[in-house]
Amino acid sequence: MSAQRRPESRADWQALADSLTLECRAFIDGDFGAAASGDTFATRNPATGEILAQVASCDAPDAERAVAAAQAAFESGVWSRLAPGKRKKALLKLADLMEAHKHELALLDTLDMGKPVTSAQGDTAGAIACLRYNAESIDKVYGEVAPTGEESLALVLREPLGVVASIVPWNFPLMMTAWKIAPALAAGNSVILKPSEKSPLSALRLAQLAREAGLPRGVFQVLPGFGHTVGKALALSMAVDCLSFTGSTATGKQLMQYAGQSNLKRVYLECGGKSPNLIFADCKDLDRVARHAAAAIFHNQGEVCIAGSRLLVENPIRDAFVDKVLAAAERMQPGDPLDPESFMGAIVDEAQHRRILDYIRRGVEEGARLRTGGEALEGRGLFIPPTVFDGVTPQMAIGREEIFGPVLAVFGFDSEEEAIAMANDSDYGLAAGLWSQDIDRIMRVTRRLHSGQVFVNNWAGGDQTVPFGGVKQSGNGRDKSMHSLQEYSELKTVWMALAP
Ligand code: NAD
């Protein structure tokens, strides 16, 4: 296992890209192969339009085969009943292999979905940390002995669920994958991963590494393909015990229906957001806050579930603050994703590009004031610059709906009460930010925000030790931390009658 040399420049990354051999086949029951139908789909580099690969397009027969293999592996106990310390060892080995191939993994996400390679490197580090955290945790989780009388002994055991299907999106392909599969595998489940059809390459490379790490056949499988084909088949399967999903709210709602139509499988959802970022006039260093407010929406081209897409600014500082946000945005223009200096990259595909531009057009039609951006950049790839609308109202589409692109909606408020009401006036509740120096206000407002996470005087802070997830239509699950590990196990009560 030799570590790859660290690429330093655009040319280094391009050279690494030119040297890659892409795995494009499905990974079922320990082997790579074509989809049963022989069908494939093209995955493109959105920065250049180039087709990167033709990838196996799995469908219901592939799902059926993978579920059968997952069940067989689970029942055999080869992983599900393996001592937690041994599962830990295998997963740490996988993490080490990921570390040894981290540049390649980051590059695959950049090529596949257009994110800047520096940002993809951060995602890869996060994915490796997630693997290690869950591997290290699993042999420290205890069951319980209930406080019953002497005539009985009652145990509460934690057992794996069975077959977990993880369905993930394209915006953080490797990191979202790790957030799902690491706790599910650590807990002893058999896991079937369905990556997004827009970004399947890093998942397939991960499958190669998992095989090299010695994960037994059927324990980890990867089915590339579309949501309405292989994704739906997994979700409707009577033998899948849990769906763990990250993606849009619309798909999340469908998955709950599929669970109801089939076997009442558990459904953990991490869905969309329209997150408010509240700027109070008392906060210090407005230049710094403005830089963070801009990065909160323009990071990853705005294709972030917790993007700070609604900026709520106290009216006395609003004009001056928006000017500072515009100045910060000016320095965040999209660039070549392979250039380590680029802050923003390409939009994932033409459909998403069109959708973002449609929202921008609606914003103008609905009377919001376009302060910067708004037009796609000319050239080969799919690039949209930072776009800022001021004078947005909660009735406007750009003020309510998740755009999933580099579009910031600015609102003004006059009082704390009004700010809280505006922040909570949303179907979503994934994240919220609040900037102030007043600790009483911070706690007052924090407690009243309907949100799974609140960032105080920062945006998107967190690490592997704290849960990540939302309330309302942003979903019901939690990724990361010991809370996510527990989601992938079931409680079993054992009541033993003892002779007096
Ligand atoms: P999406 O819902 O279109 O697709 C997500 C995944 O679901 C893909 O793998 C897709 O193939 C699959 N899918 C689609 N329809 C399906 C169906 N009928 N049955 C089974 N599977 C199906 O979402 P997307 O466009 O890939 O990702 C963007 C969305 O993800 C945004 O809404 C974003 O907010 C959300 N997201 C949320 C989080 C979070 O942690 N809350 C993190 C990242 C992204």
Per-residue confidence (pLDDT) for residue 379, from 0 to 100:
87
pLDDT recorded at residue 453: 98
The DSSP bridge pattern shows strands 310-314 and 242-246 to be unpaired
Q: How would you classify the pairing of strands 152-160 and 144-145? A: antiparallel
C-beta of residue 115 within 8 angstroms of C-beta of residue 46: no
Q: How far apart are CA 280 and CA 415, in angstroms?
A: 9
> Ligand 1, closest atom to CA 198?
26
Of 411, 407, 437, which is closest to residue 426 (Cα–Cα)? 411
> Counting atoms of ligand 1 from 1, which one is nearest the CA of 273?
34
Left (φ > 0), alpha (ψ -120 to 50) or beta: where does 72 sit?
alpha
**Considering 24, 58, 130, 305, which one is annotated as catalytic?**
305
What's residue 250's pLDDT? 98
Q: Quick check: 80 pLDDT over 70?
A: yes
State if residue 402 touches ligand 1 by the CB under 6 angstroms criterion.
yes
Q: Is the CB of 405 under 6 A from ligand 1?
A: no
pLDDT (average), residues 203-207: 98
pLDDT at residue number 3: 63
Report the pLDDT value the prediction gives residue 1, as an integer from 0 to 100: 52
Whether the Cβ atoms of residue 225 and residue 35 lie closer than 8 Å to each other:
yes
Q: Is the pLDDT of residue 337 over 60?
A: yes
Identify whether 375 is a catalytic site residue.
Answer: no
Q: Is 303 in the pocket of ligand 1 (CB under 6 A)?
A: no
Q: Using a 6 Å cutoff on CB, does residue 305 contact ligand 1?
A: yes
How close is the Cα of 286 to the center of ligand 1, in Å? 35
Q: How far is the CA of 251 from the centre of ligand 1 (A)?
A: 6
Asked whether 430 lines ligand 1 (CB < 6 A), one says yes
Residue with tokens 């299907």: 165
Tell me the CB-side half-sphere exposure of residue 51, using CA atoms within 13 A. 7
Using an 8 Å Cβ cutoff, are 352 and 303 in contact?
Answer: yes
Give the relative orientation of helices 117-137 and 102-113 as an angle to the nearest 10 degrees.
130
Ligand 1 contact via 470 beta carbon (within 6 Å) = yes
Rounded CA gap, 238 and 249, in Å?
23
**Residues 410, 311: contact at Cβ < 8 Å?**
yes
Residue 197, ligand 1, Cβ within 6 A: yes
Residue 99: predicted pLDDT: 98
Distance 195 CA to ligand 1 centre (A): 10
- pLDDT band at residue 21 using 50, 70 and 90 as cut-offs: very high
Q: By alpha-carbon position, which residue is closest to atom 15 of ligand 1? A: 227
CA pair distance 286, 292, nearest whole angstrom: 10
pLDDT in tens, 231-279: 999 999 999 999 999 999 999 999 999 999 999 999 999 999 999 999 9
Report residue 495 as tokens. 């009541």
Query: What is the Cα–Cα distance from 297 to 302, expressed in whole angstroms?
Result: 5
* Three-point CA angle 386, 177, 429, nearest 5°: 55
- pLDDT confidence band for 380 (50 / 70 / 90): confident
DSSP 28-59: ETTEEE--TT--EEEEE-TTT--EEEEEE---
Report pLDDT for 500.
78
**pLDDT tier for residue 4 given thresholds of 50, 70 and 90:** low
Look up residue 247 and give its DSSP letter: S
Residue 477: pLDDT over 70: yes
Ligand 1 within 6 A of 478 CB? Answer: no
- Tens digit of each residue's pLDDT (9 = 90 or more) over 452-464: 999 999 999 999 9
**pLDDT of 411 higher than 60:** yes
Q: Is the CB of 217 under 6 A from ligand 1?
A: no
Mean pLDDT of 172-194: 98
Best CA proximity match to 455, nearest among 445, 417, 389, 413: 445
How much is the pTM?
Answer: 0.97
Q: How confident is the model at residue 5 (pLDDT cuts 50, 70, 90)?
A: confident
Q: Considering only CA atoms, which residue is closest to atom 43 of ligand 1?
A: 305
Burial (Cβ within 10 Å: 0-12, 13-18, ≥19) of residue 1: exposed
Rounded Cα gap, residues 221 and 61, in angstroms: 14
pLDDT of 166 above 80: yes
Pocket test for ligand 1, best of 305, 349, 471 (most atoms within 8 A of CB): 305
- At 106-150, the pLDDT tens digits run 999 999 999 999 999 999 999 999 999 999 999 999 999 999 999
Average confidence score pLDDT of the chain: 97
248 CA → ligand 1 middle, Å: 4
What's the CA-to-centroid distance between 246 and ligand 1, angstroms?
5
Is 197 an annotated catalytic residue? no
Mutate to test the pocket of ligand 1, among 171, 199, 251 (most ligand atoms within 8 A of CB): 251
Q: Could you give the domains of the chain?
A: 10-271+474-493 (3.40.605.10), 276-463 (3.40.309.10)
3-state secondary structure of 17: helix
Q: What is the pLDDT of residues 283-301, one digit of tens each?
A: 989 999 999 999 999 999 9
Q: Ligand 1: distance of its center to the CA of 347 in Å?
A: 16
Q: Which atom of ligand 1 is nearest to the CA of 194?
A: 9
**Which residue among 23, 197, 270, 402 is the active-site one?**
270
Q: Whose CA is nearest to atom 32 of ligand 1?
A: 248
Distance 270 CA to ligand 1 centre (A): 9
Using the mean position of ligand 1's atoms as its centre, give its distance from the Cα of residue 173 in Å.
Answer: 11
DSSP string, 185-231: HHTT-EEEEE--TT--HHHHHHHHHHHHHTPPTTTEEE--S-IIIII
Q: Which two tokens stand for residue 477?
A: 């699950």
